[in-house]
Amino acid sequence: MAEITLDVRRLRAFAEVGYQVAAGGGAHGAMAALRRVVPLDAYEFVAFDPATGRHHSVVSDGHARIDRDAAEEYAGLDAYRRALATRAPVAMPEPGSERYFRRHLAPYGWRAGLTAPLFLSEGRYTGLLHLASKDPFPRLTAALLAAVSPMLAHVTDLSRCVIDPVGLPPDFRAVAYDRLGTRRRVPGRETSVVLWDDPAMAAYARAFIDSRELSRHGLWLGGDGGWHEVRLLRAGVGFQGALQGAVAAERPCPLPYDLTGRELDVLTRVAAGDSNPQIAAALVLSVRTVTTHLEHIFAKLGCDSRTRLTTKALAEGLCRLDV
């Protein structure tokens, strides 16, 4: 049996694993670096989707991807539960995993398998890495794989989003959505509870994804009874941002310019191009009341025409979002 020893060249290979993951080289770049240390013939990354509670294959090399049912089959084995409990790689075939090994690995000629559970350094589980080889793995393989698994866990982190880093101020709390309305956490951002718990916001995000807009910015009365400044940005979600999605982000705020809620409703209708009679009909007000509200709005925002009022409202996100 071959032995693994560490030297400067191999330590550099480990550093390259982290660099490939962090710099966007992805799974194949990271595994090319790992292969300098660990002899293997095939690998497969299986991601855990926290939105659905299921596993599915995302990247493989050396054999075809294992289908979704097979990924879930492995998650039902004692070997899987042992891997999660110990956070250590588990070898195959071992008692309880022989049938799985015969069905999904042996047909390719593999004699040894090794599965590492992938946990981020913060402790969040993201999926599995399956290794396969035509020969038994060297003695230190499991230990070395365990050492790099926190870096490799980023490969299977389906909660990652691809967003414009300058489009979202740092103090906004966020939630990501895909086109099905599935909610995902945004790494590096505090999760917005008020957005997460509001089903109407998920539907609103779906409509935004289906629109041609790149972003939206406005004011929203949340389920907590408070006003929030909300921004929506197009984003890729899921594995390597492959799914169309959006990031909705918010921060609590008072209504700007001392506007009242009713004045905000009138301003939003003006920005949409409605006339005073149309606004009155939509808000169940008299035309005179709408005119009075508009006089107050012009004074508060320092505008002397509907055109300037509309330009200011759209530029500063002063319209109420129709959630």
DSSP code string of 55-67 = EEEEEEESSPPPP
Q: Give the residue numbers spanning the domain of 213.
A: 173-252
Lowest mean pLDDT among 19-33, 150-164, 226-240: 19-33
Could you tell me if 93 and 214 lie in one domain? no
Let me know if residue 208 belongs to a domain: yes
What number of residues does the chain have?
323
- Note the pLDDT of residue 67: 54
Look over the chain and give the mean of its residue pLDDT values, rounded to a whole number: 86
pLDDT of the residue at 317: 94
Angle between helices 261-271 and 287-301 (to 10 degrees): 90
Instruction: Tell me which range, 90-104, 151-165, 208-222, is most confidently predicted by mean pLDDT.
Output: 208-222
Mean pLDDT of 137-164: 82
The pLDDT value given to residue 13: 67
Number of domains within the chain: 3
Query: Is the pLDDT score of 68 beyond 80?
Result: no
C-alpha–C-alpha distance, residues 267 and 264, integer Å? 5
Instruction: Tell me the β-bridge partners of 245.
Output: 178, 235
Confidence of residue 22 (pLDDT cuts 50, 70, 90): low
Query: Does residue 22 lie within any of the structural domains?
Result: yes
Nearest CA-CA partner of 284 in 306, 302, 267, 262: 262
pLDDT over 90, % of the chain: 42
Cα dist from 50 to 67, 124, 179, 233, whole Å: 18, 10, 16, 22
Whether 304 shows a pLDDT value over 70: the answer reads yes
What distance in Å separates the CA atoms of residue 186 and residue 200, rounded to the nearest whole number?
19
Per the DSSP assignment, residues forming a β-bridge with 320 are 219
| CATH number of the domain where residue 293 is located | 1.10.10.10
Question: Which value, to the nearest 10 degrees, does the dihedral of the CA atoms of residues 87, 52, 186, 43 take?
Answer: 50
The C-alpha atoms of residue 128 and residue 152 are separated, in whole angstroms, by 9
Identify whether 3 is part of a domain.
no
Q: What is the model's pLDDT at position 32?
A: 85
Are residues 152 and 21 part of one domain? yes
**Per-residue pLDDT at 292 exceeds 80:** yes
Same-domain check for residues 34 and 136: yes
Same domain, 307 and 238: no
Looking at residues 241-261, what average pLDDT do you find?
91
What is the pLDDT averaged over residues 166-185? Answer: 84
When pLDDT is averaged across residues 294-323 and rounded to a whole number, the result is 94
pLDDT band at 17; cut points 50, 70, 90: confident
Query: Rounded mean pLDDT of 133-162?
Result: 85
pLDDT at 307: 94
Q: How many CB atoms lie within 10 A of CB 49?
A: 19
Same domain, 248 and 267: no
- CA 176 to CA 190: how far, in whole Å? 12
* Class of residue 220 by CB neighbours under 10 A (exposed 0-12, middle 13-18, buried 19+): buried
What value does the mean pLDDT take over residues 45-72?
A: 78
Q: Does one domain contain both 182 and 149?
A: no
Whether 178 is covered by a domain: the verdict is: yes
153 and 217 in a single domain? The answer is: no
> In this structure, is residue 65 part of a structural domain?
yes
Helix (H) or strand (E) holding 316: helix 306-316
User: 179 lies in a domain?
Assistant: yes
| Contact (Cβ atoms closer than 8 angstroms) between residue 157 and residue 50 | no
Residues 200 and 296 in one domain: no
In a domain, 167, yes or no: no
| pLDDT in the model for residue 164 | 58
Task: Give the range with max mean pLDDT: 1-10, 151-160, 298-307.
Answer: 298-307
* pLDDT tens digits for range 261-277: 999 999 999 999 999 99
Torsion of CA 140, 144, 147, 149, to 10 degrees: -120
pLDDT, tens digit, for every residue of 76-135? 889 899 989 999 999 988 888 888 888 888 888 888 999 999 999 888 899 999 999 999
